């Protein structure tokens, strides 16, 4: 993983969005919809209750059916694998603006 940053905790929000807290102390609201493609994610897309059954295991978001999302992808706001164009190169193709992420404003000094 990039810099060993993992998901520390997660809270499901409106459909397909989650408040994600990382082990480096950063937090963001992430739209998970682009990552929920493929057969293993079908139950998650089909059921709000199943989407909300997310938890954290092994440093990332997981669901009871074994589906998970790479924590680096979440932390760095990378494109899902299915979206990566085979004709573009490595890290360049992975970079995208954090358009799916909304920072959560905190004053760390007040949190104590």
pTM, rounded to two decimals: 0.71
Per the domain annotation, does 47 fall within a domain?
yes
Residues 6+ apart with CB under 8 A from 24: 3, 5
- Quick check: is 9 in a domain? yes
What value, to the nearest 5°, has the Cα angle with vertex 78 and ends 1 and 52? 85
Please give the residue range of the domain that contains residue 32.
2-100
User: What pLDDT is attached to residue 99?
Assistant: 42
The mean per-residue pLDDT over the stretch 2-27 comes to 92
Assess if residue 89 is contained within a domain.
yes
Q: Is residue 112 one of the residues assigned to a domain? A: no
Comparing C-alpha atoms, which of 55, 102, 97, 104 is closest to residue 76? Answer: 97
Category of 16 on φ-ψ map: left (φ > 0), alpha (ψ -120 to 50) or beta:
left
> Total structural domains in the chain?
1
Does residue 109 belong to any structural domain of this protein? Answer: no
Is 111 a domain residue? no
CA dist list (Å): 11 to 3, 28, 53, 83: 23, 11, 10, 25
Q: Is 91 inside any structural domain? A: yes
Do 55 and 20 form a contact (C-beta atoms < 8 A)? no
Q: Give 47-86 pLDDT, tens digit per residue.
A: 999 999 999 999 999 999 999 999 999 999 998 877 875 4
User: Cα 3 to the chain's mean position, in Å?
Assistant: 16
* Inside any domain, residue 60: yes
CATH number at residue 96: 3.30.2020.10
């Amino acid at each position: 993983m990039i810099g060993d940053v993992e998901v520390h905790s997660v809270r499901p929000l409106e459909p397909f969005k989650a408040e994600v807290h990382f082990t480096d102390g950063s937090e963001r609201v992430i739209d998970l919809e682009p990552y929920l493609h493929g057969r293993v994610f079908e139950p998650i897309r089909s059921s709000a209750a199943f989407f909300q059954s997310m938890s954290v295991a092994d440093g990332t978001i997981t669901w009871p059916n074994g589906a998970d999302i790479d924590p680096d992808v979440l932390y760095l706001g990378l494109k899902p694998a299915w979206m990566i164009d085979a004709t573009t190169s490595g890290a360049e193709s992975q970079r995208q603006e954090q358009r799916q992420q909304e920072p959560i404003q905190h004053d760390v000094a007040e949190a104590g």
